[in-house]
Chains A and B, each alone.
Chain A
Amino acid sequence: EVQLVESGGDLVQPGGSLRLSCAASGFTFSDYYMDWVRQAPGKGLEWVGRTRDKGHSYTTEYAASVKGRFTVSRDDSKNSLYLQMNSLKTEDTAVYYCAATLAGQHHIDYWGQGTLVTVSS
């Protein structure tokens, strides 16, 4: 069974930092691109960023709203995905989902259950 389990969500002050993790199981993690997608309370889905697989040099892509503040990374030896979030703003408050896309394809196949990040003073 495919599982993506996010962790690390918390309450953080504006300007602060937070690191999210996503633990994967049930599929060959190293064969997949991995994404972060977020959803602000009561709002729609917003793609945050992607890391490709080793075959594509682990290159990354970001939404303009987080570029320069957020970093997506992965550790294939631990089947884990990470999102380092710096200079957090109140508008970054959201549930953050990790998602998996088979390398070479571009559509999301699997989703995690999400972790809540609240940015507030």
Chain B
Amino acid sequence: DIQMTQSPSSLSASVGDRVTITCRASQVISNYLAWFQQKPGKAPKSLIYDASNLQSGVPSKFSGSGSGTDFTLTISSLQPEDFATYYCQQYDSYPLTFGGGTKVEIK
């Protein structure tokens, strides 16, 4: 199975900050990587697919990059509605696997 490792597991940031979350795959997954946002008590929401493509309706402050084994999710200017937990997921091979999540909290 492909292991997905996210870092950091949590971070504190202020409104307006630029935030970067890293996801590393245990083997090459090309660009078959997605990012999801989950707020407490809510379902996940799809943000990015194929490492860098925004899902319809997702604001451009979110961006993704990377290929191979190393990927990043960047939020250009953090807003109050962005405080949530973010997960990466690989879909290069089965079983599909998620990272452990990164909780973005208010400083």
**Residue positions of A touching B, CB distance < 8 A:** 35, 37, 44-47, 50, 61-64, 97, 105-114
Q: How far is the CA of A111 from the CA of B91 in the complex (A)?
A: 16
Interfacial residues of chain B within 15-66, with CB under 8 A of chain A in the complex: 32, 34, 36, 38, 42-46, 49-50, 55
Please report whether the interface of chain B is mostly helix, strand, loop or mixed according to DSSP. Answer: loop
Q: How large is the interface on B (under 10, 10 to 19, 20 to 34, 35 or more residues)?
A: 20 to 34
- Contact (Cβ within 8 A) B94 A61: yes
> Residue B98 at the A interface, CB < 8 A?
yes
Q: How far is the CA of A114 from the CA of B42 in the complex (A)?
A: 8
Please report whether the interface of chain A is mostly helix, strand, loop or mixed according to DSSP. Answer: strand
Q: What residues on A are CB-neighbors of B87 within 8 Å?
A: 44-45
Q: How far is the CA of A99 from the CA of B94 in the complex (A)?
A: 16
The contact sample of 8 A-B pairs, CB cut-off 8 A, is A37-B44, A47-B96, A61-B95, A62-B95, A106-B91, A107-B49, A109-B46, A110-B46
- Pairs of residues from A and B, 4 with the lowest C-beta to C-beta distance, nearest first: A107-B49, A106-B91, A47-B96, A45-B98
- Contact (Cβ within 8 A) B43 A111: yes
- Contact (Cβ within 8 A) A111 B95: no
Q: What residues on A are CB-neighbors of B67 within 8 Å?
A: none
